[in-house]
Amino acid sequence: MPLTSTLVEDLRKALSDAQAVSTENKELVSFAQSKYPQFPGSPHAVVVHASSTEDVVKVVKIANTHRVPVVPYAAGTSLEGNVSGSNGSVCIDLSQMKRVKEINVEDADVVCEAGVVWNELNDMLQEKGIPLFFPLDPGVGATIGGMIAQGCSGTNAVRYGTARGEYILNLTAVLPSGEVIKTRQRARKCSAGFDLTKLFIGAEGTLGIVTEATIRLVPRLATSVGVVSFPDPRSATLAVCDILNKGASIQCAELVDELSIRAIKLCGKFPMDWVETDTVLFKFQGSEAVRDDSSMIVQNVIGKYGGFGYRHVTKEEDVEQLWADRKNLLFGLLKMHPGHKGYITDVCVPVSKLPDLLLATKKELADRGLVSPLGGHVGDGNFHCFILYKTEEEMKLVMEVVDAMVHKAISLDGTCTGEHGIGLGKKKYLVEELGEGSVELLRTIKAALDPLNLFNPGKLYPEKPSKL
Amino acid sequence: MPLTSTLVEDLRKALSDAQAVSTENKELVSFAQSKYPQFPGSPHAVVVHASSTEDVVKVVKIANTHRVPVVPYAAGTSLEGNVSGSNGSVCIDLSQMKRVKEINVEDADVVCEAGVVWNELNDMLQEKGIPLFFPLDPGVGATIGGMIAQGCSGTNAVRYGTARGEYILNLTAVLPSGEVIKTRQRARKCSAGFDLTKLFIGAEGTLGIVTEATIRLVPRLATSVGVVSFPDPRSATLAVCDILNKGASIQCAELVDELSIRAIKLCGKFPMDWVETDTVLFKFQGSEAVRDDSSMIVQNVIGKYGGFGYRHVTKEEDVEQLWADRKNLLFGLLKMHPGHKGYITDVCVPVSKLPDLLLATKKELADRGLVSPLGGHVGDGNFHCFILYKTEEEMKLVMEVVDAMVHKAISLDGTCTGEHGIGLGKKKYLVEELGEGSVELLRTIKAALDPLNLFNPGKLYPEKPSKL
């Protein structure tokens, strides 16, 4: 009997719901890549739809016996091949583990399973009339477990920080041995030992599979948006640094360039007299007095940096439409370039270095006749590109630009990824960024926890240089 | 020749400054305990005053050769025996490594050595007219390296979080092998692998010796203080939860009890009509409009919880004096109880559970005729006690209370320490808090990085239960 059949048989025997174990070809393929498959993976041997931590333990123990790789999956919204299938792998699908087990309003926290989707959680809290929300905002549809595995963030990071901050109070993880641990209790602060919670944040499922977490909520506050035009990215960036250093209550600061403005004009619905130049959108949060105060700080600062045409959009429906227009600008771009796809990736540098990165990338694109919007989360120095291409030939040029952009970011004291993770796509840059010693330390910890290298193998850790 | 002499000789040969290697008895003893020696340590074999990362590397390599323990030391402000001397240990004193290597105003960060004292750094920034500060505020005199090793926080954690959050952008550490690594670059966000920076935060020098760090600054904002009385700790706590959930811009929320108010009345200098009852002091931050807005939120909420006598203190010198009076209340207590000492420790629970912890501890104290103020960082659920005692007999009773308090905190989903760390004092509670699996994971990582167990041995990791 081939290995796979006994593996599948063992899984079917172990799981109470035999339907949970699938060998349907469609699933073996679709669960082996993210929904935006920039890095297609090999089909899995089997997909298990887990419904509890106990299910995950059973699968891990059986995979251990059979010495087969285990790849976790939930929303499949990652971008760097972080959940691509390995050869003969068991995929553990956590997307059905969606229970919200506790909502502690006074303490502003929630205990939930890994498959809970962040925006659905926030909708649910709003429906219940709870004036709190979970502030990490990566791509819509991402799950809490995936967000933890990725060390995610999003536009709100200017105010709230990232998954590596203090919004994940604790988590439950199944280790490669099959043991279940909970990293911490529910108290907001804890200095009991080094931080086991953080060990799993950004480990991309290579050290453990997160099945449950306690996450912190924050007050849902009224929001308004300030929009201001700048002559170039450098003045826009320096203005943002200055505004943040003056203590304005800013939730997001997003830079959109000339090309993006054209795309918004094509597809956006909010009536706005856009100027086709580098533009910053600020989200202000709080009572009217607090928002007006922040808006005033922005107004007072921008003149020094050549900012012009400042508008403060305050009506709730206007704010929502304006923000949706910004988010939908990629559709506008694709409309302007029919038949194209966009290659998405991100890097991050100290905020003051962002203009150097943008200008260098602009040149790399122009040299190859390629097009991408050049903007991003300017409040954090996090830059996302969306490089348009049509042919295989163009795709090769895209990868040249990405390569140049990553090297440039690292040379500017930055990182090859601000929020998308390493996966397969960024492995080759890790030693350049962190140094061989730090990468070896990552490997040392991986080997201590997963000596058989079964948990999401091939991701995150670059191969050791061979000794010649 | 005894081991120590060759060790000392090797150190003197290796370090360029022979004066840096001390075997003076006074130093061997004083560096073997913190300045508040609740857990006295064995005298060191030798103390080395390091002046660079290279010095630390040399000492670690020599200690490795001689198989002697290495204990880092800087300000010596820790409380749980976190830097107590080990038998025959080499102490590496980092307090002379005080260089501030970069101040990046636009990016709001600083690159500095481990011996820099946080409050001195903030004074220096102010003197230079830089409108930024480092917001973690443990005991005055603590060093950046110690704060990282401890996973510290302080009163400002309500707004800014702790050392485990996002204020330590990267750090340079000397590993037990003598290898130097830098954990990350200077970008604000990074999702490149799991978080090596966090591995050293709260590890109490057991995994590496932090010699340098890049830390984030925040805007220095105008501050005012709101003071409000409550009938009991439960109403005070629930009011604070409600106020925080309404999004008031609060930097600190400190609860002081009846006894503390009496101590403040005895020693305080700010003219205030104190009521001897549970009292909350809020620090508001921002422009006048923002502070008034926060003050209004407090005023609107407290009535529901029986809060009374609300005052908003806004003049800068009044704010400073009032906050100093709160900080100095321990001197008032000692004045009320001449000849006594205070045993200091901390626990932390979910905020809503704080009243249960306070009331249970109050009973434990009363049962034994002991006295301690019962308050703390109510915005985080972090409770500090300062139990007064005079005799050895009373000290035993103190330890009974601490024991009961820690068990109670853990039973309330809390931790044996919110900000003081494990050291020697809290080791025995770690398995009860985290479970054997999580503690074993801490040990696994320790063994992978420090197989000879030379870095600050005996701290943090409780002994493995012997298999019978």
What DSSP element (H or E) covers B435?
A: none
Does pLDDT of A2 surpass 70?
no
B350, A187 Cβ separation under 8 angstroms = yes
Band (pLDDT 50/70/90 cuts) for residue A1 is low
Neighbouring CB atoms inside 10 A of B298's CB total 25
DSSP string across A23-87:
--HHHHHHTTS-SS-SS--PPPSEEEE--SHHHHHHHHHHHHHHT--EEEESS---SSSTTPPPT
CB pairs under 8 A between A and B: 333
- Among the partner-chain residues A165, A290, A433, the one whose CB lies closest to the CB of B192 is A433
Determine contact: B431 vs chain A, CB below 8 A: no
In a domain? residue B205: yes
CA distance B324 to B268: 8
Determine contact: A324 vs chain B, CB below 8 A: no
Determine contact: B445 vs chain A, CB below 8 A: yes
In a domain? residue A320: yes
Cα dihedral value A102, A105, A107, A108, nearest 10? 90
Distances from the Cα of A220 to the Cα of A19, B247, B316, angstroms = 40, 8, 31
CA distance B48 to B19: 9
Determine contact: A390 vs chain B, CB below 8 A: no
* CB atoms A190 and B350 under 8 Å: no
* CB atoms B245 and A105 under 8 Å: yes
Residues of B in contact with A161 (CB under 8 A): 161, 165-166
* Structure tokens that stand for A421 in this block: 């993770």
What CATH number is given to the structural domain containing A206? Answer: 3.30.465.10
The burial of B120, by beta-carbon neighbours within 10 Å (0-12 exposed, 13-18 middle, 19 or more buried), is given as middle
Interval B75-133: pLDDT, tens: 999 999 999 999 899 999 999 999 999 999 999 999 999 999 999 999 999 999 999 99
Is the same domain home to B25 and B114?
no
In a domain? residue B375: no
The pLDDT of residue B1 is 52
The pLDDT of residue B36 is 87
Q: How far is B364 from chain A (nearest CA, A)?
A: 22
Question: Domain end: B197, B219, B241, which one?
Answer: B219
Q: How far is A74 from chain B (nearest CA, A)?
A: 19
Please name the residue of chain A whose CA is at the shortest distance from the CA of residue B242.
A106
Is the same domain home to A235 and A310?
yes
Q: How far is A260 from chain B (nearest CA, A)?
A: 23
Question: Domain end: B286, B307, B331, which one?
Answer: B331
Neighbouring CB atoms inside 10 A of B432's CB total 15
| CB burial string A311-334: b at 16+ within 10 A, e below | ebbbeeeebebbbebbeebbebbb
Comparing CA positions, the residue from A219, A295, A224 lying closest to residue B158 is: A219
pTM: 0.97
Interval A106-151: pLDDT, tens: 999 999 999 999 999 999 999 999 999 999 999 999 999 999 999 9
Quote the number of domains for chain B.
Answer: 3
Residues spanned by the domain of A68: 5-93
Backbone angles phi, psi at B313, to 5 degrees: -95, 120
Q: How far is B186 from chain A (nearest CA, A)?
A: 5
Q: How far is A440 from chain B (nearest CA, A)?
A: 10
* Structure tokens that stand for B375 in this block: 């308050």
In a domain? residue A307: yes
Measured in residues, chain A has a length of 468
The pLDDT of residue B465 is 77
DSSP string across B15-75:
SS-GGGEE--HHHHHHTTS-SS-SS--PPPSEEEE--SHHHHHHHHHHHHHHT--EEEESS
Band (pLDDT 50/70/90 cuts) for residue A375 is confident
Does pLDDT of A361 surpass 80?
yes
In a domain? residue B65: yes
* Structure tokens that stand for A7 in this block: 């593996």
Is the same domain home to A107 and A215?
yes
* CB atoms A350 and B182 under 8 Å: no
* CB atoms B426 and A131 under 8 Å: no
Determine contact: B125 vs chain A, CB below 8 A: no
Is the same domain home to A115 and A162?
yes
With left for phi above 0 and alpha for psi between -120 and 50, is residue B47 left, alpha or beta? Answer: beta
Determine contact: B219 vs chain A, CB below 8 A: yes
Q: Which of A125, A189, A284, A455 to mutate to test the interface with B (most CBs of B within 10 A)?
A: A189
Distances from the Cα of A23 to the Cα of A87, A88, B215, angstroms = 15, 12, 50
- Among the partner-chain residues B106, B196, B202, the one whose CB lies closest to the CB of A193 is B202
For residue B163, the SS3 value is coil
Is the same domain home to B268 and B191?
no
Question: Domain end: B93, B128, B149, which one?
Answer: B93
Does pLDDT of A431 surpass 70?
yes
Q: How far is B201 from chain A (nearest CA, A)?
A: 6
Interval A210-248: pLDDT, tens: 999 999 999 999 999 999 999 999 999 999 999 999 999
Residues of A in contact with B136 (CB under 8 A): none
| CB burial string B250-278: b at 16+ within 10 A, e below | bbbbbbbbbbbbbbbeebbebebebeebb
Residues with Cβ within 8 Å of B312's Cβ and at least 6 positions away in sequence, in order, are B224, B225, B226, B295
Residues of B in contact with A179 (CB under 8 A): 437
Is the same domain home to B122 and B198?
yes
Q: What value does the mean pLDDT of chain A take?
A: 96
Q: How far is A230 from chain B (nearest CA, A)?
A: 18
Residues of A in contact with B349 (CB under 8 A): 187
Does pLDDT of A465 surpass 80?
no
A101, A112 Cβ separation under 8 angstroms = yes
pLDDT average per 10 residues of sequence, chain B (468 residues): 80 92 97 92 97 98 97 96 94 98 98 98 98 97 98 94 97 98 98 97 98 98 97 97 95 96 95 96 96 97 98 97 93 95 97 97 98 93 95 97 98 98 97 98 98 97 80
* CB atoms A132 and B245 under 8 Å: yes
CA distance A215 to A199: 16
A375 or A73: which leads in pLDDT: A73
- Among the partner-chain residues A181, A285, A441, the one whose CB lies closest to the CB of B181 is A441
* Structure tokens that stand for B101 in this block: 């290597």
Measured in residues, chain B has a length of 468
* CB atoms A414 and B187 under 8 Å: yes
For residue A370, the SS3 value is coil
For residue B220, the SS3 value is coil
Is the same domain home to A107 and A213?
yes
Residues of A in contact with B238 (CB under 8 A): 106
B305, B236 Cβ separation under 8 angstroms = yes
Is the same domain home to B228 and B257?
yes
Determine contact: A103 vs chain B, CB below 8 A: no
* CB atoms B196 and A441 under 8 Å: yes
Residues with Cβ within 8 Å of B214's Cβ and at least 6 positions away in sequence, in order, are B102, B109, B110, B111, B168, B169, B170, B171, B186
- Among the partner-chain residues A152, A166, A437, the one whose CB lies closest to the CB of B165 is A166
Interval A19-53: pLDDT, tens: 999 999 999 999 999 998 899 999 999 999 999 99
Q: How far is A225 from chain B (nearest CA, A)?
A: 18
Comparing CA positions, the residue from B93, B90, B95, B97 lying closest to residue B10 is: B90
Residues with Cβ within 8 Å of A158's Cβ and at least 6 positions away in sequence, in order, are A244, A250, A251, A252, A253, A377, A379, A380
Residues of B in contact with A354 (CB under 8 A): none
In a domain? residue B9: yes
Is the same domain home to B258 and B184?
no
A419, A346 Cβ separation under 8 angstroms = yes
Between helix B354-367 and helix B233-245 the angle, nearest 10°, is: 160
Q: How far is B351 from chain A (nearest CA, A)?
A: 6
What CATH number is given to the structural domain containing A50? Answer: 3.30.43.10
Is the same domain home to B208 and B259?
no
What CATH number is given to the structural domain containing A314? Answer: 3.30.70.2190
CA distance B250 to B350: 18
Interval A313-347: pLDDT, tens: 999 999 999 999 998 999 999 999 999 999 999 99
A140, A327 Cβ separation under 8 angstroms = no
DSSP at A286: S
Determine contact: B79 vs chain A, CB below 8 A: no
In a domain? residue A449: no
The pLDDT of residue A313 is 98
* CB atoms A191 and B447 under 8 Å: no
Tell me the one-letter amino acid at A124: M
Residues of B in contact with A444 (CB under 8 A): 448-449
Residues with Cβ within 8 Å of B62's Cβ and at least 6 positions away in sequence, in order, are B7, B10, B11, B14, B90
* CB atoms A194 and B198 under 8 Å: yes
Is the same domain home to B199 and B248?
no
- Return residues 152-191 of A near B (CB < 8 Å): 152-153, 157, 161-162, 164-166, 175, 179-191
In a domain? residue B348: no
The pLDDT of residue A464 is 87
- Return residues 291-320 of A near B (CB < 8 Å): 292-293
Is the same domain home to A230 and A297?
yes
